[in-house]
A and B are shown apart, each in its own frame.
Chain A
Amino acid sequence: MSGHVLELQNLTMQFGGVVAVDDLSMYVDKGEIVALIGPNGAGKTTAFNMITGVYAPTNGAIFFNGEQIISNHPQGNMKKLYQGGSAGKFPNVMVKLPDVITKLGIARTFQNIRLFKDLTVFENVLIAKHMRSKAGVFAATFRLNAKEERAMRAETMRLLEILELADLRDETASNLPYGKQRRLEIARALATEPSLLLLDEPAAGMNPQETAELTAFIKQIRDDFKLTVFMIEHHMDLVMEISDRIYVLDFGKLIAAGTPDEVQNNQRVIDAYLGVADDA
């Protein structure tokens, strides 16, 4: 396949009779920051959930670094109900659980922050290191992996320092201010050593100054960790400033794609966001 880091082919998600995402095809290239935008309920988070394995798509395929990681076609009852496009294009079925996807190198954050609330900042990040640990249960219980454990702790500390959370390391996660919680979620995602980072509304609930900081921060981690970033966002200032390319979803369908300038001047995007006058 092509050299895209992430490629979605005709991805469709149908819940009962509702088509949440319809025939979405798009790609993200290495080192890019790509944004997925759209009005509320457009199917953005559903698209994320399909990429990360939370939902198995009803139809379509996903490729990561050129390899197929997920593929599905309508089955059972859905065969009759299916209303999306490109039916019959994906004969094979390949479904993965979220932990397997994360292991491949795709990490994510959540729209409504999902930290391990009662654990400390340090533990939150340290837990994410568990996946890459090679020790078995017995080795870990009897501390035969002391060297690995030390390395895990050192890396966690290094991450916290980079993300300026080091002085909060023993704080319970739920006690952090909102902006720091968002930052911790990103730190935790980075601890899984991803090559592709999915951010689900990283600036939600942030004021303009915090948003500006976040913009710089995302660029910085992209460069420092050699990441590709794919994000959902509502703050247009952030999206327009940071994105290399933008995809626009409305009612589950892709209505526009291109550079920030192209998208900004696209009539369909303007209509989707501002609405069309009835008498027009």
Chain B
Amino acid sequence: MKKGTKRICSLVLLVLIALLLFWLEANKSGQGMLISILQKSAILAIVAVSMNLLNGFTGLFSLGQAGFMSIGAYITAILTIPVVNLDGVYYMNGVAPWVRALKEGMEAGPSWLQSVYPFLALIVGGLVAAGFAALIGIPVLRLKSDYLAIATLGFSEIIRAIFSSPQMDTITNGSYGLNKVPTFPKFFGLPSLFTPFIIAGVTIALMVLLINSSYGRAFKAIREDEVAAEAMGISLFRHKELSFVVSSFFTAISGGLLAMFMRSIEAKTFSIALTYDILLIVVIGGIGSVSGSVLSAFLVTASKEWWLRFFDQPLTIGGWQVPLFRTGFRMVIFSILLMAVVLFYRRGIMGNSEFSWDGVARLPGRIKGWFSRKRPAHEAAGGDGI
């Protein structure tokens, strides 16, 4: 396919996405389900891609995503909850004076600054998480594969325990969690519905740029063979640390967005189950494929929350109520689908290749290929009959 054609295709795709968003904005009340699924997918796509940066491109098997997300979520929530709501949120233990002072100071700022605060809060959350990543990366990144996974998992649980500890009551509201978090801010006058998609687009684009740069190639070299990479003059520690810090930064940003999306957070939200969900998205999408992660973020979210809902409703066929169809059954179906993917489609939807218009152009041919491969046997059987 020519370069010009590809560009036009990409442009058309972008316009279609924008049109879809405007349509959703116009039909907000009717399409609540679709909107929330798309928004959640966009948020999870950011974590999935940043986990892929670490697992798929640098070969570091880290399971600390939930921890870094909680850092981003808590910081964003604390910084954005309006002062008026503070007493309502911290009704049990009260709020630490310095937090209140900080927030009152923030609200005294000029109004143009106030409209940027939510974005600043996201970035601050990202920077704090990146700082933590840099610190724990020093001891932890010496470990390999499973050991690294266990160490990062431990870190994630420690963060969660700290956030829900009674000592942090006046800051994180301990085990009660934070609520009344304002929803997504407006982005340059565009409706707030657009914000998660724009942020997801920008952050994922940044990560793709990094992956395709000279540093991204060094990451891949480390994934392929650490000994050889080191012999090619690539400092293992520097590059692993870089990948870890960048990944944590974007993970925390998506954590902040998740807080805005859910409007209320508690430490339980960021348990190990969240990390598994993200790992699932990465594996189904294809380890080492950014577009695969984005695609599967949508597929997994949509099937978990929407398409498979059908299995949770009681189903009656001809007066007989199918006993399996009850609340929770969709998770069984979901797990079976997952096993099928892992057994028969191990490399995920995209393997480690990326979305390209050439690939789309080849798709009809490939689908035809599936059918024509089966046909000879069918025809041979038919021929015998005649």
Contact = CB atoms under 8 A, between A and B. Distances in A.
Contacts of B218: 127, 130
Interface stretch (B26-34, B180-188, B221-229): B221-229
Contacts, number: 97
Residue with the greatest number of chain A CB neighbours at <10 A, chosen from B224, B228, B233: B233
- Which among B227, B228, B229 has the greatest number of chain A C-beta atoms within 10 A? B228
Interface in B220-248: 220-221, 224-225, 227-236, 242, 246
Given A116-B220, A141-B206, A141-B210, A97 B215 contact: no
Most buried by A among B217, B218, B234: B217
Nearest to B235: A99
A54 B231 CA distance: 9
Contacts of B242: 137
B230 A114 contact: no
Interface in A152-167: 152
Contacts of A108: 231
A191 B221 CA distance: 14
A130 B233 CA distance: 8
A109 B221 CA distance: 15
B234 A114 contact: no
Contacts of B209: 141-143
Nearest to A192: B233
B232 A131 contact: yes
A102 B214 contact: no
A99 B233 contact: yes
A193 B210 CA distance: 25
Given A102-B231, A102-B232, A141-B209, A118 B352 contact: yes
Of A100, A107, A114, A152, the most chain B CB neighbours within 10 A belong to A114
B217 A123 contact: yes
A130 B234 contact: yes
A230 to B, nearest CB: 15
Contacts of A98: 227, 230-231
Contacts of B225: 114-117
Given A118-B352, A119-B220, A137-B210, A131 B234 contact: yes
A174 B110 CA distance: 60
Contact of A127 (B210, B232, B236, B352): B232
A10 interface: no
Contacts of A102: 230-233
B213 interface: yes
A149 interface: yes
A251 interface: no
Interface in B349-385: 352
A115 B235 contact: no
A97 B246 CA distance: 24
A133 interface: yes
B194 to A, nearest CB: 24
A54 B230 CA distance: 9
Given A97-B235, A99-B236, A127-B234, A137 B215 contact: yes
A126 B217 contact: yes
B232 A188 contact: yes
20 contacts: A97-B235, A98-B227, A98-B230, A99-B230, A110-B227, A115-B224, A116-B228, A117-B225, A118-B224, A118-B352, A119-B220, A127-B218, A127-B221, A127-B229, A127-B234, A131-B233, A137-B213, A137-B215, A141-B213, A192-B233
B199 to A, nearest CB: 17
